[in-house]
Amino acid sequence: MAMARTVMTLSEDMIVEILLRLPVKILARFRCVSKHWRSLISDPQFAKRHFKRASEHTQKILLSTPSTLGFIEIDAPFWDASAVRDLFFRFKQRGRAVKTVGSCNGLVCVALYNHKDFYIWNPSTEAHRKLPDPEVSPDGGTYKYGFGYDSSSGDYKVLVASYVARNPGHFLGSEGKLFSLKGNSWIRIQVLDNHIYLTTQAGILCNSALHWEVLLDEPYNCEMIVAFNLAEEKFVNVPYPPIPIEEYEEEEDIDICFGGLRNLGGRLCCTCYRTNFVELLVMMEYGV
């Protein structure tokens, strides 16, 4: 009597758990196994779970120069140049410098230095998408960028702002454009007043908003943070954290200088340089 063969099958949940542990390039090949697997791997919710798990186990720092992009593992030995891994991108053009606009959820937005060619790129799969020309002001202006994810709409957005200056600190005009990946189009947005200048080129993404330190034309100082809310698509002011001067009353010379914003573990962080040391001021509750 012939013995019946028993075919062992895995549950859907088990298959998903296995796939979540695989590298992106292998997942791309596994999409060809069947229509069901293609649908499963292409599901946005699966992509979010895969990225979240990968981020928890492997953290990398993106390194950018005018001509190259690379990454390094966050736990790599300090000053170990051999730990840096160059990233290859097919859209790089000879003699054209590359500017990193921002990174989010494993995607990187870059711009070539003509302020017309913008790309959203996935370094893991090497897939990229060229964005339409934003048609901002011609060369001669100062450009500010930002890239982030709007969780309320599930959309990735790119911000480009152009400031035309008469001389440093005096701005004649400005314009802004916002790109929606879902809509594949740019829209014109209202930017900041001409007497307000964003000190850094790339905005810091935190809490679905892009952040810059602000330099005021008159008085010519840096006293606040401005944020572009990706969901509401408008700029809002964020106050600087209070400086605990009373802690240093005994010091004769107190030289305090703010030195840039950071995203520290999902929280907005301000670097404060004092006379003899550096202090990090972290916004534990956003907007407070």
The CATH number for 201's domain is: 2.40.128
At 205 the pLDDT is 92
Does residue 72 belong to any structural domain of this protein?
Answer: no
Does residue 73 belong to any structural domain of this protein?
Answer: no
Which strands make up the sheet holding 155-167, listed edge to edge?
Answer: 141-150, 155-167, 170-180, 185-189
pLDDT at position 189 over 80:
yes
Does residue 115 belong to any structural domain of this protein?
Answer: yes
In terms of domains, do 176 and 41 share one? no
**How crowded is residue 7: how many other Cβ atoms within 10 Å of its Cβ?**
4
CA angle 95–96–100, rounded 5-degree value: 140
Cα distance between residue 264 and residue 287, in whole Å: 15
Q: Between 260 and 145, where is the model more confident?
A: 145
In terms of domains, do 124 and 258 share one? no
In terms of domains, do 251 and 236 share one? no
Q: What share of the chain is helix, strand, coil (3-state, %, to 5)?
A: 15, 45, 40
In terms of domains, do 209 and 246 share one? no
**Total number of domains in the chain:** 3
In terms of domains, do 165 and 197 share one? yes
Q: Between 44 and 72, where is the model more confident?
A: 44
In terms of domains, do 170 and 249 share one? no
Residue 148 — φ and ψ, nearest 5°? -165, 180
Does residue 111 belong to any structural domain of this protein?
Answer: yes
Cα distance between residue 81 and residue 12, in whole Å: 43
Does residue 10 belong to any structural domain of this protein?
Answer: no
Does residue 191 belong to any structural domain of this protein?
Answer: yes
Q: For residue 104, how many C-alpha atoms fall within 13 Å in the half-sphere facing its CB? A: 25
Boundary-marking domain end, from 203, 219, 240: 240
In terms of domains, do 196 and 268 share one? no
pLDDT band at 269 (very low <50, low <70, confident <90, very high): confident
Tell me what the mean pLDDT of segment 161-190 comes to.
Answer: 77
pLDDT band at 186 (very low <50, low <70, confident <90, very high): very high
Tell me what the mean pLDDT of segment 34-41 comes to.
Answer: 86
Does residue 273 belong to any structural domain of this protein?
Answer: yes
**DSSP element (H, E) containing 282:** strand 278-282
In terms of domains, do 235 and 253 share one? no
Boundary-marking domain end, from 6, 35, 58: 58
**How crowded is residue 204: how many other Cβ atoms within 10 Å of its Cβ?**
21
In terms of domains, do 190 and 254 share one? no
Q: pLDDT, tens digit, for every residue of 85-115?
A: 766 666 666 656 778 888 888 888 988 876 6
At 284 the pLDDT is 81
Q: pLDDT, tens digit, for every residue of 75-86?
A: 666 666 666 676
Torsion of CA 273, 98, 72, 280, to 10 degrees: 20
Q: pLDDT, tens digit, for every residue of 7-21?
A: 567 788 888 888 888
* Prediction pTM value: 0.76
In terms of domains, do 174 and 264 share one? no
At 65 the pLDDT is 66
In terms of domains, do 266 and 221 share one? no
Cα distance between residue 168 and residue 142, in whole Å: 10
Least confident of 29-43, 149-163, 267-281: 267-281
**Residue span of the structural domain in which 20 resides:** 16-58
Does residue 85 belong to any structural domain of this protein?
Answer: no
In terms of domains, do 152 and 22 share one? no
At 155 the pLDDT is 93
Residue 16 — φ and ψ, nearest 5°? -60, -45
Find the DSSP H helices in 21-87. 24-30, 35-42, 44-57
Residue 242 — φ and ψ, nearest 5°? -65, 140
Q: pLDDT, tens digit, for every residue of 120-150?
A: 988 877 788 999 988 876 555 678 889 999 9
